[in-house]
Structure 1
């Protein structure tokens, strides 16, 4: 997979000059050789023949005022890319309430800052049927590591035994223990009123006994922190806490209960907020919040257009135990979803029939032995059927997953991954499961060049998969970024090399397909900035774009592409669309490609759907499958390709 770039003696002599080479060698032979090596490599990768075989990379010129810590990236049906940072894993920006979103237009390389109302850092997102992007969850509080916790903190359950009214307690409400220690709430909390349950009893002969009333207290949870610093506020004993400011009967009815309040590590905490981003108005629009706070959730679009929000850390910093929710874009409200536990950012793919396939890929938080088993989950019946056969099954965290093209084949591929948490383990394993089989199981695919976490994987219009970047250790530790890229071809079940990227990408990196057929890569959040792990890393704000071989033409950027002329902008599922084209006989394939919404190596939106194709003298006609579990409603890029895999520029098509 590696490309040797050793320059010939003749070339090195021409490059440096015989005398100059001798002088440099006397001064610093290794530096001279390195310079020659790098110069030759730069020369080689600039050659048209090299580009036609391997493609090429170029850095995007991003003005300084628009550079940001890209945590999320989504392609909109306007052709623009929404880059969401929120606080961007920057505690200072979080404390300042400074949250970023950048809108980039690849067509003319222009940028726009979007007012960002919440910290969408580590939120979830999904494409809605009308083309809006649902963004839900994010950050309420940054983590505090072991040894750095100055104030004891923990979960307070607030109880309300009053059946006549509920209560809302603002952030800063104080709770006092029996010993007089005080703790302050870090968020608003709303406690519902108590519920009356009336029961009737029967005596001998069916005689009705007096009515009995049972009261169930209303309850809500909130994160509290000790008013005073130090270990004196730590408690491991369950206790009842009075709410400072309540008097008389209210104080009797409403109170707090905590099992323990400690100085242990405090994890990130999620928010309940949800917004739709409107690509036309180019702004966030608030919708009803979720019932549960979520940080690191997956949002997956279902066949009926609703969106299922799964997993995440709650407002206390604990992994949700299975409380999933459904968003209805027609009402812009949430309702209770099927209950099932998953680790955070689980990779869930809509399959034919409406079931969801969980590949096992996830982004971290959660026990090592819980919720990691791949399987088919039917959200309607809430049944789960395990899928086996996966090697290195304990290394699915930070792995990549995607539905291979075309989606009709119903094959899902998992690539790379690592051990749970800050493990240094990484696997080169790839595996593929055919979900059309009666008893589907993973089968091992071709191996990656080396063990890889955080691998970016992007579907291309020619039915190949482009993969790039990643690192062989947790968050690029030990300068372990992998400056390699390759294509996976589902037809031959093999990899072939692509040009090497120049920017390393690990944690908090993204890649997606653009409407012109190129691939753009963002982000990277290395833990350290050197091989010895002595210097803190800095967030990678450079943006790099890959131009595949199919767009290289003569190597100068000009390429003879198939052309789609005028045609409709929308279609009913199961219908046909016709586009004018000057050379219909040249077009051999047509694909509907759903735009990406990607974060933390998780992109459950992208899929490539094969369209039946016919042509006449000056047009081509394509038929969209009728199955809504194969083609969820929404905007798609329509690509056509020739016999050499050269794609057209995409047309945007709304499937209803």
Structure 2
């Protein structure tokens, strides 16, 4: 990549390219711009300049092919209300409506009707947010839509088969006052509100969650309140039909800080690409994990990845325990 980056985003565009946005560079009080990866030429090129370079934001592909970039922190560590839209047709960023609240480390999920749910995160002054809002790309407008039972940062959220959104785990507070959530909640866009779901087997934050081809949800890794000293080598499954979590007997590698880096492959297996220096594959049919071969050692935490049109997966940046943000990128070949 042109810039080292971590806590950035990677969005697969309709034309097969991948948009990389933001992230912090060598220090967390810096923010990178944007670039594009072209799988045909296997090259990174500069994208149009952003209005505000940012990290710990969300980037959501809209139904019309544009990308909504929302919130995060700027280069001075300020939490942002601002959003911008990247248009692949023009190759440029443009301003969009501001969110109702400034937030970072939130989650964003595109709904079946094309709107985007923005949920949780942290606001100015380390205020932890239970609130949610909806972005309407047709009207370029945000509006509030209920609140969760619990404020959450470093949680995971994804759309289920029936269009509802599962929000799982996360934390509230900092330092010795940190509370890690076992709880999960369901957002129903028809009602415009949240309802409790079943509890996870373990409290988790800084984990990842992915919808499987059979409609269940894989929740992997994360940590307990000890953070880097309490990283989990475990995973569990959520069954929406029974509203129940269950443990997976097999033990994956310990991994955390890997939100958004798990991918469903064409054969139904799952690639776990972030949060550790080695990638793994999970097979829902056997419930087993296998390590991906090859000599490459990934950066690990706060990397970003995206699927390519031919089934490969691009993995970019991130940092490890003894290294800062990386410029390196890797390709996973199924």
- Shorter chain as normaliser: what TM range? 0.7 to 0.9
Contact kept? 2:26, 2:324, Cα under 8 Å? no
Q: 1:141 to 1:85 in 2, by over 3 A?
A: closer
TM-score (normalised: structure 1): 0.47
What's the counterpart of residue 239 of structure 2? Answer: 434
> Is 2:326 the counterpart of 1:326?
no
Contact kept? 1:403, 1:413, Cα under 8 Å? yes
Unpaired stretches in structure 2, ≥5 consecutive residues: none
Looking at structure 2, the residues matched to 287 and 512 of structure 1 have their Cα atoms a distance apart, in angstroms, of 24
Q: Write out per-residue CA displacement over residues 53-111 of structure 1, whole angstroms, 9 at most, x where no aligned residue.
A: xxxxxxxxx5xxx23315211111111111112553635645xxxx4111111111233
What's the counterpart of residue 330 of structure 2? Answer: 544
Q: Write out per-residue CA displacement over residues 554-587 of structure 1, whole angstroms, 9 at most, x where no aligned residue.
A: xxxxxxxxxxxxxxxxxxxxxxxxxxxxxxxxxx
SS in 2 for 1:424: helix
What's the counterpart of residue 248 of structure 2? Answer: 445
Q: 1:359 to 1:547 in 2, by over 3 A?
A: same
> Is 2:330 the counterpart of 1:522?
no
> Is 2:144 the counterpart of 1:336?
yes
Contact kept? 2:58, 2:70, Cα under 8 Å? yes
> Is 2:39 the counterpart of 1:106?
yes
Residue of structure 1 aligned with 2:64, choices 101, 114, 130: 130
Looking at structure 1, the residues matched to 14 and 40 of structure 2 have their Cα atoms a distance apart, in angstroms, of 13
Looking at structure 1, the residues matched to 171 and 306 of structure 2 have their Cα atoms a distance apart, in angstroms, of 18
What's the counterpart of residue 384 of structure 1? Answer: 195
What's the counterpart of residue 275 of structure 1? Answer: 84
What's the counterpart of residue 211 of structure 2? Answer: 403
What's the counterpart of residue 412 of structure 1? Answer: 217
Q: 1:467 to 1:92 in 2, by over 3 A?
A: closer
Q: 1:412 to 1:78 in 2, by over 3 A?
A: same
Q: 1:501 to 1:306 in 2, by over 3 A?
A: farther
Q: 1:490 to 1:87 in 2, by over 3 A?
A: closer
What's the counterpart of residue 9 of structure 2? Answer: 72
Looking at structure 2, the residues matched to 469 and 124 of structure 1 have their Cα atoms a distance apart, in angstroms, of 17
Contact kept? 1:116, 1:284, Cα under 8 Å? yes
1:143-182 matches, within 5 Å, as: none
Looking at structure 2, the residues matched to 336 and 454 of structure 1 have their Cα atoms a distance apart, in angstroms, of 28
SS in 1 for 2:179: coil
Looking at structure 2, the residues matched to 84 and 132 of structure 1 have their Cα atoms a distance apart, in angstroms, of 13
Q: Write out per-residue CA displacement over residues 440-476 of structure 1, whole angstroms, 9 at most, x where no aligned residue.
A: 21111142344332454221111111224534xxxxx
1:586-601 matches, within 5 Å, as: none
Q: 1:468 to 1:336 in 2, by over 3 A?
A: closer
What's the counterpart of residue 285 of structure 2? Answer: 491
Contact kept? 2:24, 2:325, Cα under 8 Å? no
1:278-289 matches, within 5 Å, as: 278-289=87-98
What's the counterpart of residue 53 of structure 2? Answer: 119
> Is 2:274 the counterpart of 1:463?
no
Q: CA deviation at 1:345?
A: 4.1
Q: CA deviation at 1:333?
A: 1.0
1:341-360 matches, within 5 Å, as: 341-360=150-169
Q: CA deviation at 1:377?
A: 3.2
1:564-643 matches, within 5 Å, as: none
1:82-97 matches, within 5 Å, as: 82-88=19-25, 90=27, 93=30
**How many residues of Structure 1 are paired with residues of Structure 2 in the alignment?**
326
TM-score (normalised: structure 2): 0.88
> Is 2:117 the counterpart of 1:302?
no
Contact kept? 1:417, 1:426, Cα under 8 Å? yes
Looking at structure 2, the residues matched to 365 and 77 of structure 1 have their Cα atoms a distance apart, in angstroms, of 39
Contact kept? 1:80, 1:106, Cα under 8 Å? yes
Looking at structure 2, the residues matched to 316 and 104 of structure 1 have their Cα atoms a distance apart, in angstroms, of 36
1:36-55 matches, within 5 Å, as: none
Q: Name whichever structure is richer in helix by fraction.
A: 1
Q: 1:84 to 1:501 in 2, by over 3 A?
A: farther
Contact kept? 2:274, 2:304, Cα under 8 Å? no
Q: Give the aligned CA root-mean-square deviation in angstroms.
A: 2.5
Looking at structure 1, the residues matched to 136 and 162 of structure 2 have their Cα atoms a distance apart, in angstroms, of 20
Q: Name whichever structure is richer in strand by fraction.
A: 2
